[in-house]
Amino acid sequence: MKRVYLCLATVVGLMTAGSVVAQAPPAGGAPAGGAPATPARTDPPRIAAFNVAMLMKKFDKWQYYAVTMENARIQAAIELLKMRNDIAKYQEELSKTTELAKQNAIIDQIKQKTFDFEKLERQKKEELDATASKHLKELFGDVTQVVNSVVEANGYDIVFAYPEATTKEEAESQNYIDLKLRATAAMPFYVGKRADITEVMISTLNKYRPAPGPIPQKLKMPDMKDISPTGGLTAQPPK
């Protein structure tokens, strides 16, 4: 991968020893050659943390991929719903048919349609899983590079990533309460503003790792009643 060094991005935030700066992460790893040895530190370790749930919501590239993947899942589900609807139509026709030859012909059609449905379902799942894995790996790399840049610019010894509620409704949900009380490694109950670098992370990621384009509008999954007997959609896509 071609190594590209971006200019410095300074993002202000109240921290223990002044303002936090985030250096733009290079496209590659660290420069060649080892750093000179430094004396052992005697000061207390510097600790920072960022809310990974908030980062996922505000990192435009993350939201772009999240909505894109959700829309792809809905489109795949619509395609599968139409095929399932066709199978149901043949099954209904079979229940009304008394002629043996015609019954056998319909049964053959149902078997073929079912085979095609299962094949497409596996194919869509494999495609979606592979794409999601690719996006997640890319996003993880972006976040890791920014964490490393913030650590290097500010001298942190530890950076925690913690999943904290981002709304009042989330904070009052049973899932959130279970998450906070479950035995989880490094789950903080409190993070002071001076130690929280979430906004630094978000600002730097959005500036230097932008989304490929505008965040798409989310599609809506139609109800079964919105699928016509011929397999065509009767519901209009959202504008």
Which pLDDT belongs to residue 179? 85
- Please state, in angstroms and rounded to a whole number, the distance separating the CA atoms of residues 124 and 107: 25
- Please state, in angstroms and rounded to a whole number, the distance separating the CA atoms of residues 236 and 186: 47
- Please state, in angstroms and rounded to a whole number, the distance separating the CA atoms of residues 14 and 16: 7
Instruction: List, as own/partner pairs, every contact residues 36-41 make where C-beta atoms lie below 8 angstroms and the sequence separation is at least 24, other chains included.
Output: none
What pTM value is reported for the model?
Answer: 0.72
Which pLDDT belongs to residue 12? 26
Which pLDDT belongs to residue 190? 72
Which pLDDT belongs to residue 45? 78
Contact 238, 217 (CB under 8 A): yes
Question: Which CA distances in Å does 213 have to 4, 62, 124, 192?
Answer: 21, 12, 24, 34
**Mean pLDDT per 10-residue interval, the chain, length 239 residues:** 28 38 60 57 82 95 96 95 94 94 95 96 96 96 94 90 92 90 72 88 95 93 57 37
